[in-house]
Amino acid sequence: MTVKKKELKTKELAFTKEQIVNSRKFRRFQDLLKGNLNDETLYRISGVEAMIEEIMKGEVK
């Protein structure tokens, strides 16, 4: 799901927390992403989508 900046060697694009939070695709989840993404990590879209899905399926207390 997450990749450190130095470890990124694949052709799949990765984005910073700021890029993901400010994207149109994830606008609905800005608050959720701001609290769950790390500033120092690059994220792939598929990983972010999986993380959102996992969080949204969680129980509400």
Residue 9 falls within a domain, yes or no?
yes
Is the pLDDT at 44 greater than 90? The verdict is yes
State residue 59's pLDDT score. 82
Q: Strand 41-43 vs strand 2-4: parallel, antiparallel, or unpaired?
A: antiparallel
pLDDT tier at 61, thresholds 50, 70, 90: confident
Question: Residue length, the chain?
Answer: 61
Asked whether the beta carbons of 26 and 48 are under 8 A apart, the reply is yes
User: Which position has the token pair 């769950």?
Assistant: 36
User: What range does the domain containing 18 cover?
Assistant: 2-56
State residue 11's pLDDT score. 73
- Token output for 2: 């997450």
Residue 61 falls within a domain, yes or no?
no
- Domain count across the chain: 1
What value does the mean pLDDT of the chain take? 88
State residue 8's pLDDT score. 54
